[in-house]
Structures are given as C-alpha cells and as structure tokens.
C-alpha cells in the first residue's frame, strides 16, 4: 500500500486532538488544496476560510466536516486515486444521514460538500437525490430569508453563500426545465454574495438582491465574483428554458425572436454591469495568471460566451440542440445565418481566451470541471460551422481546446472523455482532409467543407433534442434505460411475443434512414419510432417533459 494511502487512513482514523504531527501535516496539505483549488470555484465558495482554519488548528473541527473537505481535496493532491477516498466517502455517507434531522447550517454544509463530492466523482444519481434534500433543508432553516440583524456579518454571509450555492447547483442540474427546478427565484429573498475579500476579512458590505427593482452603484459595487456568476447562471437557465421549449414544441425560432432578443439584451446588460477588475481584458488575466483566482475569472467569461452559444446554436444543422431540418427550412435565411455567425463568433472568442490563458497563465490553477462541458460545446460548434475551404485553421483551434483541458482531464474522468472526443474530431479532420486532397480531381463537385460535414452527419446525430452530450440529464436517462432493461429481464412475463429479429426491422420505417442490415444495435421501439418523434407538444401547453426528448447518438450505442 502506498505511504500516502496509509497516512490517509491513519490520519482520519483518530480524533484531531490525538493526531501525530505527520498525520496533521498530511491533512493540512489536503485542507490547503481544498481552499486553493475547490473553494476558489465561485459556485462552491460557501465556507469561511479563516474560521475553518482556526477550528482545524485548535483541534475542535467537526471530524465529518474535515473528512468531506479532505475527500474532495484528494483529487488535487493525488489525482486518479480512489483507494482511500472511497472509504472516506462511505463513512461520510454513513454518518451524515442520521444527522440530517438536525436542521443546522453546519450539517447542511456537510451535505452540500457531499453533493459536490458526488458531482466530482460523477455519481450522478446520488448527487441528484441528495441535492433535492439539501434544497428542502435550506428552506427549512430559512436560508432563503435574511438572518436576524444581530447575527455577525460572517455568519450572515455564510448563510447567503450556502443558499446561493444550492441555487446555482439547482439551476445547473435542472438544465432549463422548470419542473426540475427546486429553488424558484421569487422565493429567495436574500442579497447576493459580497466581495470575497470582505467575506474573508469580516468587513461588512451591502449588496443588492438577484433581480433588484431599484439599485445603486454603491450596492452593485459590493457584489463579488460569486454574485455575478449567480446572476449569469440564472440568465443561462432562462436561455435554456426558452430554447428547449422552442425545440421541443417544434416552434419556428423566428417567431420567438423577441424573446431571444430580450435574453441577448440581458447578457449585454450583465457584461456592462461588471466592474473594471472583472471585465475580460489581457490585464485582468495577467493579474490572476498564477493565483487561485484564475478559475473564477475564466469561469465567468467562458460562461458568458457559452450563454450566447446556448441561445443561438439551435440554428446549427446537424447538432443535437438544433431545431429539426423541417423547422430550419421555415426560418428566413438571413436570420438563420446571423444566428450561426453570432454562435461562431462567441465560440472563437472562447478559444481566444483559452489560448491567451495557455500563453500567459499557469493552467494548473484551473479546477472547475464545468469548463470541460463548455469546451465540448465550443468544439462542436466550430466543427459544424467552420468553412474549411476558406480557412484551414480549424485544427489549430481544436488543438487549443484540447490543450486547455490537459489539467482538468487529469482531475476529472468526464473531462478526459471530452478531451478524447475533441481529439477524435482532430483525427477525423486529418483523415477527411488527406483523403480529399488525394482525390480532389475526382471530387470537383464537392467542396472540402461539404465532405467534412457529410462525415459529421454519418455519426447519426438526432436533431431536436433537449439534452446535450455529457449533460446530467443524458447520464440519468442512460442509467434509467439500463435499469429498466435489467428490470425487464428480471421480471419478464412468459408468453409474450418476442420482438422481430433484426433482419425483419426496417430502419427507414423508424424514421432513422438506417437499413435493416445496419451494424448499429436497435434500441427500444417506443423511444425511436417515427410516431414518437412526431409527438404534438402543443398538447402539453408550455410544459416540456425533460426526459422524453433525450436520445443517444448511434455512435454511443452499445450491445
């Protein structure tokens, strides 16, 4: 057994007060890593560092609290090591649930840390259910209301940050579906998180609410980066809600252009509201290049660009999140081209930001796995919109994205999958380009761009979906399909007619354009039948089932 694993088990097997110096030194390295790499992610900055460190060094910190912090930090200290952290996780799970009935802020902090642990370890089902309990608990102890005026500033700010962290995670998990949202905006009556320096140093500061009717420059100046990202995640939720309703109800996006313009305006106003030290600039990047503040800064501006891509990507043919081909033909050409141009502009701007970061900063400080999700979306937009006949720079842009994910891919398995997918784009691009150049004389009627996009279409992407690849909803859906299949196998009823053999199935009848001799496996008819794809969403009013429109790529289907 490696020494660091034995040290971990020895260290957390005894009370803090009884630890030897080596044990405490080991744990201190994890605590340091937690605050440098995890607590610096704005969505998770809900622990007051000076208070935590004081309790740790005075040997009176809750052992369960410490175990959660060290478990999360372990991936930053020893990446790709689950030997000892899996035991920690099981012990935390065993001890936290009996304490949940005690409606205390510290117990909620531990539960939220456990949810973050689930998220980082890609334990999606556990994360999904525990987050609902955290939201209910937060409302039970009235974190959605301002605390008593006599409470110390730091205690008030901890309560606010805890509630806003739950709010942001709720928005991210809901993916734009109102029925999956647990923390309604109108039920939260607290101010936004303040500047991080004021929080750390206990310097009281006033801030506005999420959507103030009246505000002042003085109040706005008190908002920290966590507060701005809270606002931006709320805007993104509205964007996803709007676009997914358009896609699922088979509405012409042009008829919803006023709503789309309004959301674009919210993004513009948000950008204009940023203080000078948080605006996107080379100087601001350099100031954070070798500090733990880099993650928050990159997160903020990547997310702002991603919001624009989310808003306009439904007009990109051939991707999951686009409207169907029939609907695209109904959209005025100028409007559709403008949407694609805006989408490409912001994707390229993301690449520029990441390229500058690679040149000027130490990416070792990047620690937010959500950046990997945005990177995949950016790469997918580029490969589907790039004109290879006019510009040969696509490979260079994809290489930048892949290089930018090097550190995150070591920390998070899902980012490693994303990086592999992007590298797959690069490999396919090389193959198509080499083949086209070798046979260009016989392909006079087809451009390189057309050949490349034809290759992408052969992946069998189903348009008109409401869940993106690598999203939480897709993961849950795929897991549910496996469980349903297992249930069917365990509880199968005899004397039911067996489904026809693959040779008798007609892929064209299923609306897929796949022949009966295809080597791709067939999935459940009720998910893939043409009748299902033609459902009348108008009958559901404004409601959209978050799960009924999730389909897998054929390329991902397995036997």
Instruction: Decide if 6 contacts 81 (C-beta within 8 A).
Output: no
Residue 201 CB neighbour total at 10 angstroms: 10
Rounded-to-integer distance, Cα 162 and Cα 108, Å: 8
Strand partners, 223: 194
- What is the rounded radius of gyration, in angstroms, for the C-alpha atoms of the chain? 25
Q: Indicate if the pLDDT at residue 525 is higher than 80.
A: no
Instruction: Label residue 189 by pLDDT band (50, 70, 90).
Output: very high
Closest CA to 373 of 465, 289, 475, 443: 475
Of 424, 405, 40, 429, which is closest to residue 199 (Cα–Cα)? 40
For 113, the domain range is 1-190
Report yes or no: 414 and 369 within 8 Å, Cβ to Cβ: yes
Which residues does 553 contact at the CB level (< 8 Å), separation at least 6?
459, 460, 461, 462, 469
Min mean pLDDT across 9-13, 400-404, 446-450, 551-555 is at 551-555
Angle separating helix axes 370-385 and 448-457, nearest 10 degrees:
130
Query: How many CA atoms lie within 13 Å of 338's alpha carbon, on the beta-carbon side?
Result: 10
Residue 540 is given by DSSP the state: G
Report the candidate in 120, 204, 188 with the shortest Cα–Cα distance to residue 154: 204
Residue 362 has which token pair? 């130490």
Say if 450 falls within a structural domain.
no
Q: Give the pLDDT mean for 152-160.
A: 97
Ramachandran class of 142: left when φ > 0, alpha when ψ lies in -120 to 50, beta otherwise: left
Question: Looking at the domain assignment, is residue 472 inside a domain?
Answer: no
CA distances from 300 to 148, 225, 280, 295 (A): 32, 8, 9, 9
3-state DSSP call for residue 56? helix
Domain tally for the chain? 1
Give this prediction's pTM. Answer: 0.81
- Which is more confident, 536 or 403? 403
- Average pLDDT of every residue of the chain: 82
Q: What is the pLDDT of residues 95-107, one digit of tens each?
A: 998 898 889 999 9
pLDDT at site 534: 33
* 502 within domain boundaries: no
| Mean pLDDT of the 139-164 span | 95
Report the alpha-carbon distance of residue 112 to residue 170 in Å, rounded. 12
How far apart (Å, rounded) are the C-alpha atoms in residues 142 and 492? Answer: 47
Q: Is residue 389 part of a domain?
A: no
The yes-or-no verdict on residue 430 having pLDDT over 80 is yes
pLDDT tens by residue, 56-79 = 999 999 999 999 999 999 989 887
Q: Is residue 162 part of a domain?
A: yes
Angle at 166 between CA 160 and CA 169, to 5 degrees: 135
Of 112, 227, 225, residue with least CA distance to 173 = 112
Beta bridge partners of 189: 145
Query: CA–CA separation, 343 vs 378, rounded Å?
Result: 9
Report how far residue 481's alpha carbon sits from residue 502's, in angstroms, rounded to the nearest whole number. Answer: 20
Rounded average pLDDT over 250-263: 96
Whether the Cβ atoms of residue 306 and residue 239 lie closer than 8 Å to each other: no
Query: How far is it, in rounded angstroms, from Cα 247 to Cα 310?
Result: 12
Longest dimension (CA), the chain: 81
Q: Is 161 a domain residue?
A: yes
């Amino acid at each position: 057994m490696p020494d660091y694993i034995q040290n971990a088990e020895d260290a957390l097997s005894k009370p803090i007060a009884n630890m030897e110096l080596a044990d405490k030194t080991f744990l201190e390295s994890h605590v340091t890593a937690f605050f440098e790499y995890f607590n610096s992610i704005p969505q998770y900055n809900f622990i007051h560092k000076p208070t935590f460190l004081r309790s740790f060094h005075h040997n009176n910190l809750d052992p369960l609290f410490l175990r959660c912090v060290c478990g999360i930090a372990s991936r930053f200290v020893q990446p790709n090591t689950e030997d000892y952290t899996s035991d920690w996780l099981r012990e935390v799970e065993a001890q936290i649930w009996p304490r949940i009935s005690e409606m205390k802020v510290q117990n909620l902090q531990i539960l939220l840390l456990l949810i973050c642990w689930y998220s980082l370890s890609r334990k999606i089902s556990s994360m999904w259910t525990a987050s609902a309990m955290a939201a209910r608990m937060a409302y039970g102890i009235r974190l959605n209301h301002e605390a008593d005026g006599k409470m110390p500033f730091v205690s008030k700010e901890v309560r606010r940050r805890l509630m806003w962290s739950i709010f942001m995670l709720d928005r991210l998990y809901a993916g734009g579906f109102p029925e999956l949202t647990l923390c309604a905006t109108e039920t939260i009556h607290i101010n936004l998180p303040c500047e991080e320096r004021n929080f750390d140093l206990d310097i009281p500061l006033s801030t506005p609410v999420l959507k103030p009717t009246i505000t002042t420059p003085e109040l706005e100046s008190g908002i920290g980066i966590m507060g701005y990202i809270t606002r931006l995640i709320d805007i993104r939720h509205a964007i996803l809600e709007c676009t997914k309703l358009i896609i699922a109800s088979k509405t012409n996006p042009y008829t919803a252009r006023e709503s789309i313009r309004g959301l674009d305006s919210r993004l513009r106003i948000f950008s204009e509201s940023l203080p000078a030290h948080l605006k996107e600039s080379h100087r601001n990047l350099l100031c954070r290049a070798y500090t733990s503040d880099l993650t928050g800064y990159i997160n903020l501006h990547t997310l702002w660009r991603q919001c624009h891509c989310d808003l306009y990507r439904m007009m990109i043919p051939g991707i999951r999140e686009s409207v169907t081909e029939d609907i695209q033909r109904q959209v005025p050409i100028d409007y559709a081209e403008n949407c694609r141009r805006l989408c490409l502009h912001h994707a390229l701007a993301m690449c520029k930001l990441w390229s500058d970061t690679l040149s000027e900063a130490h990416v070792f400080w990047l620690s937010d796995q959500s950046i990997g999700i945005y990177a995949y979306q950016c790469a997918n937009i580029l490969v589907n919109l790039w004109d290879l006949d006019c510009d040969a720079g696509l490979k260079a842009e994809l290489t930048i994205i892949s290089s930018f994910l090097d550190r995150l891919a070591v920390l998070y398995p899902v980012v490693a999958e994303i990086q592999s997918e992007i590298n797959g784009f690069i490999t396919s691009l090389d193959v198509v380009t080499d083949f086209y150049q070798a046979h260009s004389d016989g392909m006079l009627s087809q451009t390189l761009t057309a050949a490349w996009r034809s290759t992408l279409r052969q992946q069998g992407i189903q348009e008109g979906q409401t869940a993106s690849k690598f999203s939480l909803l897709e993961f849950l859906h795929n897991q549910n399909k496996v469980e349903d299949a297992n249930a069917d196998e365990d509880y199968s009823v005899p004397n039911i007619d067996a489904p026809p053999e693959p040779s008798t199935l007609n892929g064209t009848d299923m609306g897929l354009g796949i022949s009966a001799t295809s080597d791709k496996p067939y999935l459940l008819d009720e998910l893939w039948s043409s009748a299902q794809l033609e459902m009348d969403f108008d009958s559901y009013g404004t409601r959209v089932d978050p799960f009924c429109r999730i389909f897998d790529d054929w390329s991902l289907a397995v036997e």
